[in-house]
Each structure stands twice: as structure tokens, then as C-alpha cells.
């Protein structure tokens, strides 16, 4: 579904990613773990086309999207839940969801998708007329996820979905991610909460200072000395 | 009775302010371009309506068939240039002020600084009025109100109810996230810039119906129209409509009951007070961030 090869990313003179390679298979959940400032968010934004890769290829379902303008990458089935949720605070919950279905193929079936999102998150239905900015953090995270689902993604990029949320809400969000994954959507999960990330995913990569330094199944990563030392602090 | 008459005819002048504010408000609110050249487009729209009516002897409203498409192209072209050179917010204020001066200068070259007006014979709306008992409502101003209701009500519905409208509002709040859902701000920007040009053509035509035209008018519109945009809430078309009617009625009542020379003083004092109490504009709902 997703093949990243040799990707570099920079901000001006500062290089944030070096020669990153990773894969996400069809209907797979893959996590990226690493300490603060490792380049995790840059990696998500680069894959989503919101930050231009300085080198390398990013192939989604056989198409190289690395050189496409940002608003074209979603044409290939990529949807993002950005770090900090970034819902449109001055728009209603329903308008946020409908915005997710902006592209024509998603627009054509937006009623059906909206009903499915409300099934997944009944709370969003209760609040559909409310301004998104007035929702709690957990509800905003559900809205950001629902908005991404409205785009009918084949690959979902999740950047720190647990950030700033109470544990019981995080459980709910991760249950929803598992449910979405079970419908055949591939998931790339970036998460600081390493325990959560490793238990949600089947494989993972360790990103440190902009480089992938380890990869493997989640049980291999759990026992890797690097992961234990550098991100679990054990 | 004079106060009622003043409030009503003032509100009707306010319909014209609202029309002038519409394009400015939408490009500012959605594209973050504060386009002072918009006043120049209104001026050109007024001159085009005057010129075409004089040359062809047609109904002034029919001149929109020429001026609206022409100003659509100019408005879209302007927005293309602002986007191409990444001119937004404070920069756009400076650049578009320069453009405005150029437009005014060119208009002075073409039409001279003399006052021009559509010939009374060619202007069926110029001098007639609708009489409701003792109150007289000039037809040219009723036309302004009609166009304001039509364009701004319609624009509001498009912004609130359509996918393109939601895309614009989302783009105004978070460009990056909006782009990740497929919003092509360049294409939307051209359409919005073009439609702002159309609104300038309409405002110019309506102005020409009831007023004499001179290049310096573009500067005179500034203060009131800016006040309408800000009071209505930037990017909020219905807000601008109400703010336009309110500002028009308020200034006219002050002028009649007190003294016309106090009108700007009282108006801007009231606006400052209103903004101190509601900094987001009178008609904007604001959610907790």
C-alpha cells in the first residue's frame, strides 16, 4: 500500500529525515516510535504531501506521490489525522465531517459514510450542530478521525492520536482505529505512547534523529535493546 | 417622522455600503487578502455602466452584461497575481493601495476628474421614488438593497451549504489541513477573486444609478466600507449586510437629529465602542478555541 524509499526532508538548511525507508502493507497497522524531535511528524507530513521530500520516492498503491502538490496526494487514498487534531474550530461538527468528503468520489457517497462515522462515534452525532472548537479534546480527536474517514482512505496516517487525552478516552480512540483497520484500511501510526503503539500495530520502525535505526514485528521491537533504552527508558 | 424617513433612506444607502463591502469581506476572510484595489474595481464598474449607458442608450442594469464578466476577469487576475507573489495580509494592504492609486489615476486620465452622471433620460431609476404615505424611498436605492439581499444572501448560502463554501471556510482556518483533504486554494481563489470583481461591477452600477461619479469617490468609500466589513465580522456576508444597513441608518439619523458634520465622529465612536465590546464583529458567533 505504502512504500517509502530513500526519503530525505529538510527545513531550509536543517535536515530532518535521512534516507528513510518503510512499508505498510494492505490492511496492515504499522507504527513509528521514537523520542521527541526524532522527525516523526515530519515523516507523516512528508508522506501526506504537506512537506515536500528533498529526495526519495513515496509510492501509494503503485503511484509516486512525492512530487505531487499537497492537495493531490489525497486523490490516491491518503487521509491524515494531524498532530494536535486541528479540527476546524469555527465550523460545526457536521461541516467538519463534510469537509472530509470534499473530493468528488467521497462527495458522491457522503451520506452513507457520515452514517458509518456516527455509528463509530455516536457522540459526534449528538453534537453534529455544535461548533467543533467547543468540543472536548477527546471529542475533537474523534472528529479528526471521523473527518479523515469521510475521505474514504485506503491509507490512514495518524499523528499522535493519544496526545493530551485521558487514558479512558485513548482506549476509545484506539478501539476505533482497530475497527477502521478491520475494514481493510492500512494504518500508519506515529505515537509517543510506545506501549500503546506496539500493542496496536503488528510491525514497527524505530526513528531516531531522522533515521530509521530498527524495524521488525512489535514483539521483536519490544525486546530490542535500542527501543528499551531509547524510548521506553528501561 | 423625519427620523423615520432618515433611518429608512439611510438604511437604503447602507445597502450600497453592504454591496461594496461584500467582495472586500470575502477575499479578506477566506484568502487573507485585504484588497483595497476592490474600491478601484467599484469605481471602474461605475464608469463602465455610465459609459455603456451613454454610448448605447441601454438600461443601466443591462451594462452588467459587459461589466460583470470584465471585472470577473480582472478580479480573478488580481487574485492570481496576489497568489503568485504570495501577497497576503499586511503586504496585500500595501500593494493593493498602490494598485488603487494607479486605478484612480488611470480613471482620471480616461474620464477626467469632472463629475459624471448617467443622463437622466437614460436612467429610469435616477429620480423616481416609491411613496409609502409620507415616506419616500428612492428607487435607485431600492435597487441597491435588492442586489445586496440577492448577492449577499446567495453568497452566504453558498458559503454555508456547499462543498466549495465549506472548503473556503476550512481553507481560511487551516490551509495545510484543508489541502490534505484536496482543497486547491489556487482554483478556489480565482473563483472567489472573480466573484468579488462581479460584486464590484454590481456595486459600481448601483452607485452610478443614484450618484455622480468622480475618481476621488474611491477614497471616500474607504472608511465606511471598512467599518462595515469589520463590524459585520470579516468574511461574514450576512453580517456585512446587517452592518451596512445599520451603519447607513445610524449615520442618517445622526445627521438629521444632530448635525451632518458630527456624523463621521459619532459613527466611528460608535464603531470603536462596538468593537471594544465585541471584537469579533457584531454578527460573528465565536466558539471557544
Q: Does A11 touch chain B (CB under 8 A)?
A: no
ipTM: 0.92
Q: Does A111 touch chain B (CB under 8 A)?
A: no
Query: What is the per-residue pLDDT across A68-84, written as a single tens digit (0 to 9) for each?
Result: 999 999 999 999 999 99
Which residues in A lie closer than 8 A to residue B179 (C-beta atoms)?
Answer: 49-50, 70-71
Best B181, B185, B234 residue to mutate vs chain A (most A CBs within 10 Å): B181
Measured between CA atoms, the residue of chain B closest to residue A75 is: B182
Task: Check A91 against B182: CB less than 8 A apart.
Answer: no
Instruction: Give the mean pLDDT of chain A.
Output: 93
d(CA A228, CA A217): 15
pLDDT of residue B263: 82
What's the number of domains chain A is made of?
Answer: 2
Short-list A75, A80, A97, A77, CA closest to A153: A77
Q: Which long-range contacts (CB under 8 A, 24 or more apart) does B149-153 make?
A: B149/B15, B149/B241, B151/B19, B151/B22, B151/B199, B151/B202, B152/B18, B152/B19, B152/B22, B152/B237, B152/B238, B152/B240, B152/B241, B153/B237, B153/B238, B153/B241
Measured between CA atoms, the residue of chain A closest to residue B179 is: A71
In this structure, is residue A11 part of a structural domain? Answer: yes
pLDDT of residue B287: 40
What's this model's pTM, rounded to 2 decimal places?
0.89
Which residues in A lie closer than 8 A to residue B169 (C-beta atoms)?
Answer: 88, 90-91, 95
Sign of the Cα pseudo-torsion (B133, B135, B138, B144, in order) = negative
In this structure, is residue A218 part of a structural domain? Answer: yes
In this structure, is residue A224 part of a structural domain? Answer: yes
Q: Is residue A72 domain-shared with residue A86, that is, in the same domain?
A: no
* Residue A234: pLDDT band with limits 50, 70, 90: low
From A152, A173, A207, the end of a domain falls on A152
Domain range enclosing A92: 82-152
Q: Is residue A40 domain-shared with residue A7, that is, in the same domain?
A: yes
Phi and psi, residue A30, nearest 5°: -125, 140
pLDDT of residue B130: 84
Q: Which of residues 116-175 of B touch A (CB under 8 A)?
A: 163, 166-167, 169-170, 173-174
Q: Does A133 touch chain B (CB under 8 A)?
A: yes
In this structure, is residue A125 part of a structural domain? Answer: yes
pLDDT of residue B45: 97
Q: Are A78 and A65 in contact (CB under 8 A)?
A: yes
Best B30, B174, B180 residue to mutate vs chain A (most A CBs within 10 Å): B180
Q: Does B182 touch chain A (CB under 8 A)?
A: yes
Which residues in A lie closer than 8 A to residue B167 (C-beta atoms)?
Answer: 99, 102
pLDDT of residue B265: 85
pLDDT of residue B285: 56
Distance of CA A4 to the CA centre of its chain: 15
State the residue for C-alpha cell 469632472.
Answer: B114
Give me Rg for the CA atoms of chain B. 19
pLDDT of residue A138: 93
Measured between CA atoms, the residue of chain A closest to residue B172 is: A88
| Class of domain B2-277 (CATH, top level) | mainly alpha
Q: Is residue A68 domain-shared with residue A104, that is, in the same domain?
A: no
pLDDT at A193 over 90: no
Q: Is residue A127 domain-shared with residue A198, that is, in the same domain?
A: no
Rounded mean pLDDT, A167-187: 94
* Residue A233: pLDDT band with limits 50, 70, 90: low
Q: Are B285 and A131 in contact (CB under 8 A)?
A: yes
Cβ-nearest to A71 among B184, B285, B289: B184
pLDDT of residue B288: 37
Q: Is residue A65 domain-shared with residue A100, that is, in the same domain?
A: no
Q: Does B180 touch chain A (CB under 8 A)?
A: yes
Task: Check B173 against A91: CB less than 8 A apart.
Answer: yes
Task: Check A103 against B285: CB less than 8 A apart.
Answer: no
**pLDDT tens, per residue, chain B with 289 residues:** 788 888 998 999 999 999 999 999 999 999 999 999 999 999 999 999 999 999 888 899 999 999 999 999 999 999 999 999 999 889 999 999 999 999 999 999 999 888 998 887 788 887 788 888 888 888 888 999 999 999 999 999 999 999 999 999 999 999 999 999 999 989 999 999 999 999 999 999 999 998 999 999 999 898 899 989 989 988 999 999 999 999 999 988 988 888 888 888 888 888 888 888 887 777 765 443 3
The residue ranges of every structural domain in chain B are 2-277
Distance from CA of B220 to the nearest CA of A (A): 34
Amino acid at each position: 500500500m505504502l512504500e517509502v524509499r530513500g526519503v530525505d526532508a529538510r527545513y531550509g538548511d536543517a535536515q530532518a529525515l535521512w534516507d528513510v525507508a518503510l512499508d505498510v502493507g494492505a490492511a496492515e497497522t504499522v507504527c513509528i516510535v521514537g523520542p521527541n524531535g526524532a522527525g516523526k511528524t515530519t515523516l507523516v507530513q512528508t508522506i501526506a504531501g504537506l512537506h515536500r521530500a528533498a529526495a526519495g520516492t513515496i509510492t501509494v498503491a503503485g503511484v509516486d506521490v512525492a512530487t505531487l502538490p499537497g492537495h493531490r496526494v489525497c486523490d490516491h487514498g491518503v487521509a491524515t489525522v494531524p498532530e494536535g487534531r486541528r479540527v476546524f474550530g469555527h465550523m460545526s461538527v457536521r461541516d467538519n465531517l463534510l469537509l472530509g468528503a470534499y473530493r468528488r468520489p467521497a462527495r458522491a457517497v457522503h451520506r452513507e459514510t457520515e452514517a458509518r462515522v456516527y455509528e463509530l462515534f455516536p457522540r459526534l452525532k449528538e453534537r453534529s450542530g455544535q461548533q467543533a472548537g467547543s468540543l472536548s479534546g477527546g471529542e475533537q480527536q474523534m472528529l479528526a478521525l471521523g473527518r479523515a474517514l469521510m475521505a474514504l482512505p485506503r491509507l490512514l496516517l495518524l499523528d499522535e492520536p493519544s496526545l493530551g487525552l485521558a487514558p479512558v478516552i485513548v482506549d476509545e480512540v484506539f478501539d476505533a482505529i482497530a475497527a477502521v483497520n478491520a475494514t481493510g484500511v492500512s494504518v500508519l501510526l506515529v505515537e509517543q505512547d510506545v506501549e500503546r503503539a506496539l500493542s496496536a500495530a503488528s510491525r514497527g520502525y524505530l526513528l531516531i534523529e531522522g533515521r530509521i535505526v530498527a524495524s521488525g514485528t512489535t514483539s521483536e521491537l519490544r525486546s530490542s535493546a535500542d527501543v528499551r533504552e531509547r524510548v521506553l527508558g528501561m | 417622522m423625519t427620523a423615520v424617513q432618515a433611518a429608512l433612506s439611510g438604511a437604503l444607502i447602507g445597502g450600497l455600503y453592504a454591496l461594496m463591502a461584500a467582495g472586500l469581506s470575502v477575499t479578506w476572510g477566506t484568502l487573507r487578502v485585504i484588497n483595497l484595489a476592490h474600491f478601484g474595481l467599484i469605481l471602474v464598474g461605475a464608469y463602465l455602466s455610465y459609459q455603456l449607458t451613454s454610448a448605447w442608450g441601454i438600461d443601466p442594469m443591462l451594462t452588467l452584461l459587459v461589466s460583470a464578466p470584465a471585472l470577473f476577469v480582472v478580479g480573478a487576475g488580481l487574485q492570481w497575481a496576489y497568489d503568485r507573489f504570495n501577497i497576503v495580509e499586511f503586504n496585500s494592504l500595501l500593494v493593493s493601495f498602490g494598485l488603487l492609486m494607479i486605478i484612480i489615476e488611470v480613471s482620471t486620465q480616461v474620464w477626467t476628474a469632472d463629475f459624471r452622471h448617467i443622463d437622466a433620460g437614460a436612467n429610469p431609476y435616477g429620480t423616481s421614488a416609491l411613496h409609502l404615505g409620507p415616506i419616500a424611498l428612492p428607487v435607485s436605492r431600492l435597487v441597491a438593497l435588492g442586489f445586496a439581499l440577492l448577492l449577499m444572501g446567495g453568497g452566504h448560502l453558498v458559503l454555508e451549504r456547499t462543498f466549495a463554501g465549506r472548503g473556503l471556510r476550512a481553507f481560511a482556518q487551516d490551509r495545510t489541513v484543508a489541502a490534505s483533504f484536496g482543497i486547491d486554494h489556487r482554483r478556489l481563489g480565482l473563483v472567489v477573486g472573480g466573484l468579488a470583481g462581479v460584486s464590484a461591477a454590481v456595486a459600481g452600477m448601483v452607485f452610478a444609478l443614484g450618484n455622480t461619479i468622480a475618481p476621488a469617490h474611491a477614497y471616500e468609500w474607504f472608511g465606511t466600507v471598512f467599518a462595515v466589513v469589520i463590524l459585520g465580522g470579516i468574511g461574514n456576508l450576512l453580517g456585512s449586510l446587517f452592518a451596512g444597513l445599520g451603519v447607513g441608518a445610524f449615520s442618517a439619523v445622526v445627521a438629521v437629529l444632530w448635525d451632518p458634520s458630527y456624523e463621521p465622529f459619532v459613527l466611528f465612536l460608535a464603531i470603536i465602542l462596538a468593537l471594544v465590546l465585541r471584537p469579533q464583529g457584531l454578527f460573528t458567533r465565536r466558539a471557544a478555541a
